[in-house]
Chain A
Amino acid sequence: MTTTERPIAQNAAPYRVLGTRPLRHDGVDKVTGRAKYGVDASVPGMLYGAVLRSPHAHARILHIDTAAAEALPGVKGVVTAKDMGIYQRPLDYAQTMRNPRFIAEQMLASKKVVYKGQGVAAVAAASLHIAQEAAALIRVDYEPLPAVLSLDDAMQPNAPKVHDDLTTRVIAADHTRKQDSGTSSNVAGRLEMKRGDLAEGFRRAAFVAEAEFRTSRVHQGYIEPHNATAYWAPDGKITIWNSSQGAFTIREQVAEVLQVPESQVRIIPLEIGGGFGGKTTTYLDAVAALLSKKTGHPVKMLMTRREVFEATGPTPATLMRCKIGADKDGKLTAGYLFLAFDAGAFPGGAVGAGATTSFAPYKLDTVLVEGYDVVLNKPKVHSYRAPGSPQAAFAVESILDMLAAKLGLDPLELRRRNAAHEGDRLPNGVPLNSVGIDEVIAAMQKHPHYSAPLGGPNRGRGVSLGYWGNAGKHSSATLSLGADGKVSLVTGSVDIGGSRAALAMHAAEVLGLAAEDIVPAVGDTESVGMTDITGGSRTAMATGAAVYEAAQMIKREMIRRAALLWEVKPEDVSFDHGLFVNTRQPTDRLTFQQVAARAMSTGGPLTASASAFPKKIAPAICGNIVDVEVDPETGKVAVLRFTVVEDVGTAAHPSYVEGQMQGGTVQGIGWALSEEYCWNDSGAMLNPTFLDYRMPTSLDVPMIDTVMVHVPNPYHPFGVRGVGEVSIVPPLAALANAVSHAIGARMTSLPMSPAVVLQALAGKRA
């Protein structure tokens, strides 16, 4: 491992503030331990809650006896599904996004449990220890049912059914569920994306490569467990302190599960200790609220790490088959991809996103993607950073590597020859938006890493591209001018990784101020306009656009105020770098602070609110070059050197952009090499601790070198592009390609743990 110089990128963009690296506003609180996270919530008089979870992967609940638990000293109340009003509503399997019935079932199962770890009952008590003891005293009679635990088994027509009344639906291009097969099945959804004549495409191919791939379930692995502290006041008002990726989204879900109007619920978002998609849904909030209603006290709930693994949603395991053909010049003639994604116990496992993103970086006129959304008796999966795309890219980018070898072509050159351009069609037929695929490939080709010698035996180099579509959605921001010329900024976007700084920089850029002149805060659901989740790589871009609009409003009003002071028309006032100038009398100058100081005498307080809903979204592209060394005795893979190249558009705060690139990469390294859910044959996870579920430590990875490519987003005022998720997409395939080259055998199954690599080595020798 070597320490390489951090490339301090020049401020490539023509901006004063964007592209610089100010200290984050919330930084001191976070390095001194004073920042309050969801887990730190404390409300006077609060009790602690604990959940009793199912020990079975599949069983009917016959009877729940809570008497012994209620009799334990210190216990104040117990709730079960009977307390959930939502169960009067029918279950609609066609709604897979944020289905409140699915959410409720995961909290407190209604009739049967469909995975080990599902909530069955919950207790509130004077201390966490008493609550946990009491939960263990609840007696539940179960009738165990046959469980279905693998994708292959679940797809068999005669497999036991996870839900008797679940049928197969067609997944439309917009991911909604349409036409219903009417027959009971564990296949909840089926999609087909098709263009051109596939058979003809493969006939035109001079070379064809194909293989089958498998990936395991992996968890987002945020360090802060899920938590919620709730108070249901006598007037019916419900207040919840928690950490989530979006207070408004959680409010909507909680209101639906509790069957109360949204206005009755207030969510106060505290700092969040990581989410990666996993905290865009609720597992505890409504339970804490019900316990509060029952006991009259605020109730705090906190998951154990085992609960995080067993009761929240990891990413789907997959079975994939991919086949790609190319003519003798290395032009792709046809692509086929079969995707079976494990959704867990309820439908909705990102197979649509996997299908859409799979071939996205390449121009391909003849394509067929078939996708299956399959339920089985494991926790319902949930979003994990660029959901679905890393798996699909693992298959496609591995096949491209095999194809390059057959063609005798450099793997990056093969990708360059087939790179998609704006307007080319994604597998779902939607045209590709502006993104720097050519630029990223070119930067990879000329990077010194790509031509450096490997420098030893048992080593290999791999490359891969990864694509992600990014999200837009709704954002709101409010700016208020202070008497000293500082400007407070409230947005609805929770700050997971430095977004306060990036958003403040948007306002500073417009107002000619320094980043430090803006005081950013995250509002609760009653202090700022509706704002969607911090997710989909949307926050700096979309909330940034809202901040930009609000700042423009402040700027216009400040110009009007300056004009009033000079008794001229607003058109006669120019504003540049925080300085107002009377163009009729250019010696008349006022600083931003001077105009701010006169606000009360020129019309009163200055505030501005704006919302944004970007309709056109610029996607993201990322490339990896990675060197590995495989120990032929143990099968252990060491990552020697890792270079990440990403089109980041205008990098608002480059340090945090690099951080996103590095963090996603290391999550991808874990996915590729060491992370997996291990199961026994009754559906229990065997490794629900950080000791046995192996996320990379500082010792497992080298420095992650980042190269930012800047193709501005044409749909954002400053060219800011979503950057957060895509970095997790290419590492799976890049590492599989590197290991395959190192050992001379194709790796098709993740994680490439020592045992798997040894097996591949043995297979090669045999």
Chain B
Amino acid sequence: MNTKTLVSCKINDTDTDFLCEPRQSLLECLRDVLSLTGSKEGCNDGNCGACTVILDGRIVDSCLVLGVEAQGKQIITIEGIATAEGLHPLQQAFLEQAALQCGICTPGFIVAAKGLLDREPKADEHRIRHWLAGNLCRCTGYDKIVRAVLQAEEMQAKKK
């Protein structure tokens, strides 16, 4: 009991070591051990997407990943989306489109949408809705979120 495991991984481009119990989820480790509270817990069973992170290039619900599974992995959380130059186009577009009300779902949506834009920079409305169907938002009705992702695509295309 209570023996902890040392996990070494890269979080938001920073080499990170942390101790965790075998039963702790990656979400718990991020939030409670590493104080990266941007990833949220809405359900703890993979059905709301508020805890979405990028793990070795794929979006996952971090509540469904064990902390020990992060060993040797690269993880990007909402705290790693903006850079020293400023906000990511998705973040800027979410602000401009007023795509958040309470904002609790926003980190999950932005991380999930980044997962889409990184591989399909020209996704259309239907594809965006399909991709984001694992993220629940109870405030916005999704309209402005989808528009924000479309706007971010345009912003990215202009940058290139």
Give A residues with C-beta under 8 Å from B.
1-3, 6, 21, 23-24, 26-28, 30-37, 39-40, 42, 73, 129, 220-225, 271-276, 302, 304-305, 496-498, 653, 655-656, 658-660, 662-667, 689-691, 695-699, 701, 703-704
Contact = CB atoms under 8 A, between A and B. Distances in A.
A2 B150 CA distance: 13
A276 B104 CA distance: 14
B140 interface: yes
A223 B50 contact: yes
10 contacts: A3-B146, A6-B147, A24-B98, A32-B82, A33-B38, A129-B23, A305-B48, A662-B143, A697-B132, A697-B133
Contacts of B78: 32-33
- Of the candidates B31, B37, B45, B77, the one having the most CB atoms from chain A within 10 angstroms of its own CB is B37
B10 interface: no
Contacts of A666: 140-142
A105 to B, nearest CB: 27
Contacts of A28: 87, 91, 95
Contacts of A660: 101
A690 B105 contact: no
A425 B160 CA distance: 62
Interface string B91-121: 1001111101111111100100000000000
A659 B144 contact: yes
B68 interface: no
A1 B146 CA distance: 12
A120 B87 CA distance: 47
Interface string B20-62: 0101100000010001111111111101101000000000000
Contacts of B137: 223, 698
Contacts of A665: 141
- Of the candidates A24, A31, A655, A704, the one having the most CB atoms from chain B within 10 angstroms of its own CB is A31
Given A223-B137, A225-B42, A690-B48, A698 B107 contact: no
Contact of B138 (A302, A305, A663, A689): A663
A31 B91 contact: yes
A698 B150 CA distance: 14
A26 B40 CA distance: 18
Q: Number of contact residues on B: which range applies? A: 35 or more
Given A221-B136, A695-B136, A698-B146, 4 more contacts: A21-B98, A222-B138, A223-B104, A658-B143
Contacts of A23: 95-96
B17 interface: no
Given A32-B82, A689-B45, A223 B138 contact: yes
B148 to A, nearest CB: 10
Contacts of A701: 141-142
A699 B130 contact: yes
A339 to B, nearest CB: 26
Nearest to A497: B101
A37 B144 contact: no
Contacts of B106: 30-31
Nearest to B130: A699
Nearest to A23: B95
B45 A691 contact: yes
B79 A33 contact: yes
A496 B98 contact: no
A27 B125 contact: no
B66 interface: no
Contact of B43 (A6, A33, A39, A305): A305
B104 A224 contact: yes
A658 B21 CA distance: 45
Contact of A224 (B42, B101, B126, B128): B42
B95 A31 contact: yes
A284 to B, nearest CB: 15
B156 to A, nearest CB: 16
Contacts of B130: 699
Contacts of A271: 102-104
A35 B77 CA distance: 14
B21 A36 contact: no
A273 B102 contact: yes
Given A30-B106, A274-B104, A656 B98 contact: yes
B141 A27 contact: no
B139 interface: yes
- Of the candidates B37, B102, B150, the one having the most CB atoms from chain A within 10 angstroms of its own CB is B102
Contacts of B135: 697-698
B64 interface: no
B129 interface: yes
A663 B101 contact: yes
- Of the candidates A21, A223, A276, A498, the one having the most CB atoms from chain B within 10 angstroms of its own CB is A223
